Chain A
């Protein structure tokens, strides 16, 4: 019998094989080979692509190198979204490896945030965790932690240390039995077809009557089209960490087990592939 703990490991150790190709218009001194990496799904692009940068540095002039940014089939990839989310949202149902194009010029200021150092990622990551905990525990858990615990969460993510991260993160996943779950579930629903970046509202894990809310309940309220369509045909896939959980899955369980390290449940709603 598999234990729920195994889910945490599977989620943490999810990897996306990626090939990085330099954008064709970038000026190079010599031909640049593609670079292949296994990207951790739960991490952030700018945190794990130092090697890519170094690889392409070798073939480029120093003065031509602006801030590196990445793009997939014309979409600029937001580094502040977790890698798994970006993949699920933009590249599900495509052949592996994931082909990402690397740019060093013409930074798309309107699409992307600058990421000058890892401190920026850390600040973003910690603010997400804090926001999630405000939703889950009115921020009490994260505020009671010491600075070193915060650091441990970050270091765990940065160094891909599951145990180090979860030793602290489990405290963020606690809730009193009496309440039956978190105060609100920290979630974000993303879609490619909308201008809105994502949907995020207050949603409780249990109803006022004490019934468990499921993934289906959440979608019905936030994105009804994802659950049903007029002709009864399934038009959307609801993807978390590259899988499609059943709509009956309790939301509280999902939040505890399928949240990203930033403690948010990042849910991608993507159109059904047309074969």
Chain B
């Protein structure tokens, strides 16, 4: 999980963030403002500053926020001027939007605020539906409005072209003031704000609901916030039944507010269509005596705080009942609470003003277990304590204040007042004095409580000795008190400054040091600092008690809306209170890499020296222990080979022994009974080419392939009784297979990587004769071993740089380890194995048929499919019965309607068709008698593997520069496409740091989906509309190139994927055709035309030697047909880049392969003998048992198929 931030404001209005990976509060980068309220989401944070204005802090990212402005230039043909800007009076504007109704000349476009800048000037778009247009970009039609084509015909009377220009949001990593509104009702100053609602709908991307409350108790909603418009467009007022003091908006459809009188409001009717909701329902305060003052909502939870600081949890909240059923009083007294992601809860305690986290909040126990204080230092504390000197001069709490004060003159009053009044005074500074007076009774916001609380604190004598001068403000503070507080400011100035004097006194100590010391060795890597700190701490030990209270920050507000964590997240936030976790940290960090290297290296060296000394000259000695055969047995079920296929009970045994050459080997036996006759089937361990887990919710199955079985497309399927047993067997078999082939440790840099449709990752050590001509190693003899983790695709190059992308589009970089996942212990490296998670959706379909009486209903015809089914309609899949894909997966969301189904949907997610099965469309016509809609539910897998996340940008595709393994490329080109379609170029990727440092955004006019870079820096890419582009002038010196050239696609084909090798360019289109680009020359790298190579191709990977490997569908074996099969193009030679034929390897169920790491040239003199010999020898995968009747081919892809389908095949064939 990448780190994310918890935001908080201290009582002085300073904003701090705490990273989930961090150990200290960091002062916000843009610290010149003081804030009252914050509401954070993952991509940004909104806040109300001391001036009551709304500010937006958008996190910086490698991908810019760009907004595409477009306008159309329209022309009409007349015999005199030909095409010209003279239009008929009835025509549209000469410059218009796409509909022609709105007049928009180029100079009418203005930047929406000072936070935007233009990226470049206007230019003409020369692309229509993925096809390049003629120069000038004109598209022609008979008349407006009509269908436009790129070709000018005899009857083309009008033409138009599209102009585009990008503007870019520039105010990132800084507080950008939201401009005040020009039109409409102008909101009065704001007092509370809450952002959320991002889960209501995906469209437009990054949409947020932002609710705000003004000082007068009015409620406002910010319209039009989404990714391309982070500031939103305008405030609209939302009417409320009373004066509102505070509001909270959850990630989904929960919005609660607190009324001035202490009741709560619940927003109803929030939906995809209407994110603002429609009406309010009043809910009573939890307590009959005291009203509520604060509320916080998440997805399924509502927490509230009443005026007596009691914390309450609302029972019975769900998507059907946003109001819940009742209140439960919770332990602890809080000033405020906040609900973040995953319904995690944060609070600020009344007692010590520390930020607390609610521990043990899980989906089954939403109220959590206990409050735990976050006890970490702040970075500015630490910087002050860097050395004894700086500590003596500036080591006090107030020195930071002085600095802030000098920067913001507006805040003078607030600054000079005691911290008691600070928040209150900050409120009043922006208002006039009269305003302050007018507010006869302070609003019941937690701000007043903050003041009160701090004042409570102040009265304690151990505060700082100034308690006598500080008036306490009561909750119902009367105006005179307010005034006296204002007067107080001048009086307060003196003691405050004397305090500052004190600060310069060397005796003044920031006692944070004593507490900060344990985490410091971890956080501060250089030891000198640590040692100086400890000496300082001892030096000042005597001062500890006197200033004990100042030691930890006093917080006023916390927002966890962008803080991605759950009850399992390991946090280092509690180090000051517990020694254990910090000890782990310091342990791992106190060993510097240099030391590690020294002692470990010495042990390695000495051990091998010892082995040499003690064993080398004595090899002829007899071994004391004779090697014996080791047998492991078990009971399993076997999917028998003959008809009728079914699971039968078998005894399973693995016999291992040491071969004569010292290598271990083994034989697998499957003992079964057929017609009361005991028989068996066996396979040699050294013949097994791949072991595939086929786990599903009912059977713990795995498949064993040998070259023979691969040819048949019919592996040995075995089912273990339990998941654990299956994993134990797989781990053991894997180890045996690797041992018998002498494969140990991490895969080599040249390795071939692949993934299956289950997300399992396989790697193959390429044999030198893999690409030999004319007798390459047969593809079905390649040995694949599994590597831990879960990925959708993997890309590599021969320098050992390997990246992967998960199903949730997370990018991962390979760490150099091996194992993980099921292979714990010996099959796994000690280092470099990390936790990996992935999320994907499971889909089911709701089907309905129209009848004249009730309209569409779930009553179908008897011949119809199930009313709840899978995509084919053959399997019944109800919401209740559908389980996650395997026991490794757990649900992480509820079922919800999927509006992004291909073909489009109506507002309720329905797609219509004349009958099942058919092509569906997103609107109802007269001929439609059936409809369906897709429901999606997310599930999550947590596993381990040699992968580290590369946050934060989610990727769709990626490619790494193929090169020879000896090449001395310093920085390796790596290009990616974000899951939003942005083209990105990775900076700083080297062999030493394969993760690189940052992304460089490469501008495009449309979202992209596939990209590939060739050995000579040729970058080809495919846009989402299927058009192909070549990137010009990319080189080692100019890694991002300069411009895109639009390449026409093969006729009537939308391209899907591209792969570029040394010189060859191959593409796959959406109809699964494989095309080769002809006519590529160094001077004309774009080539001239496409040549069709093959059909039934799903993916292609072209290697650094122009090797061509594909994932193919519909490969016929002797027993069955497989989809998702690894195939190798045979006969590819420099003069014959298209090769001759396909050789079929492992599959089905394979999803992705990359050959781009293998740059081993085949040996020049080819020895065809060994390959054939082994083939002959290995053809002995004997079934010595009685073979049943003839097996008929059935379509089976080992991984996709569910148990029922397997049985179904068996029955139907």
Contacts and interface: CB of A to CB of B under 8 A. Distances in A.
Contact of A17 (B521, B621, B627, B732): B621
Given A17-B618, A243-B607, A250 B591 contact: yes
Given A48-B624, A97-B618, A3 B831 contact: yes
B628 A36 contact: no
A5 B599 contact: no
Contacts of B624: 37-40, 43, 48-49, 51
Contact of A210 (B585, B602, B603, B610): B585
A178 B521 CA distance: 17
Contacts of B1016: none
Interface stretch (B163-171, B471-479, B821-829, B1158-1166): B821-829
B918 interface: no
Given A170-B826, A206-B587, A248-B595, A179 B518 contact: no
Contacts of B625: 40, 43, 48, 158-160
Nearest to B620: A36
A258 B584 CA distance: 22
A64 B756 CA distance: 69
A170 B825 contact: yes
A202 interface: no
Given A3-B829, A38-B621, A180-B583, A14 B610 contact: yes
B109 interface: no
Interface in A245-263: 245-246, 248-250, 253, 257-258
Interface string B590-621: 11000100111011101111110111011001
Given A6-B604, A17-B615, A209 B583 contact: yes
The interface size bin for chain B is: 35 or more
B630 interface: yes
Interface in B237-266: none
Given A38-B621, A210-B518, A164 B630 contact: yes
A243 B610 contact: yes
Interface in A168-212: 170, 177-181, 206-212
B630 A161 contact: yes
A257 to B, nearest CB: 8
A60 interface: no
Contacts of B615: 15, 17, 38
A206 B589 CA distance: 13
B632 to A, nearest CB: 9
A82 interface: no
A237 to B, nearest CB: 12
A268 B754 CA distance: 49
Q: How large is the interface on A (under 10, 10 to 19, 20 to 34, 35 or more residues)?
A: 35 or more
B205 to A, nearest CB: 38
B584 A177 contact: yes
Nearest to B580: A178
A117 B735 CA distance: 34
Contacts, number: 152
B598 A212 contact: no
B582 interface: yes
Given A5-B830, A159-B630, A248-B598, A38 B622 contact: yes
A244 B587 CA distance: 23
A49 B439 CA distance: 97
B496 interface: no
Nearest to A158: B625
Contacts of B606: 243-245
Contacts of A40: 624-625
A245 B604 CA distance: 10
A116 B621 CA distance: 27
B277 interface: no
B614 A17 contact: yes
A33 B1207 CA distance: 68
A96 interface: yes
Given A17-B618, A208-B579, A212-B587, A245 B602 contact: yes
B604 to A, nearest CB: 5
Nearest to A207: B583
B587 A210 contact: yes
Contact of B825 (A43, A167, A181): A167
B1095 to A, nearest CB: 44
Contact of A211 (B586, B603, B621, B745): B586
Interface in A1-34: 1-7, 10-11, 13-17
B480 interface: no
B816 interface: yes
Contacts of A209: 518, 579, 583, 586
B603 A243 contact: yes
Contact of B610 (A43, A177, A207, A242): A242
A163 interface: yes
B607 A11 contact: yes
A166 interface: yes
Nearest to A161: B630
A249 B599 contact: yes
B581 interface: yes
A75 B586 CA distance: 45
Contacts of B108: none
Contacts of A246: 598-599, 602-603
Contacts of A49: 624
B765 to A, nearest CB: 17
Nearest to A157: B625
A187 B584 CA distance: 22
A15 B618 CA distance: 10
Nearest to B581: A178
A103 interface: no
A64 B600 CA distance: 51
B734 to A, nearest CB: 12
Nearest to A15: B615
7 A-B pairs closest in CB distance: A210-B583, A17-B618, A243-B606, A48-B624, A160-B625, A246-B599, A10-B607
Interface of B: 518, 521, 579-587, 590-591, 595, 598-600, 602-604, 606-611, 613-615, 617-618, 621-625, 627-628, 630, 732, 735, 745-746, 816, 824-826, 829-831
21 contacts: A7-B604, A14-B610, A14-B611, A15-B618, A17-B615, A17-B618, A17-B621, A37-B621, A97-B621, A159-B627, A166-B825, A167-B826, A178-B580, A178-B581, A209-B579, A209-B586, A210-B579, A210-B584, A211-B586, A245-B599, A246-B603
Given A7-B607, A258-B603, 12 more contacts: A3-B829, A5-B826, A10-B611, A15-B623, A36-B621, A38-B623, A43-B625, A48-B625, A163-B826, A210-B521, A245-B602, A250-B587
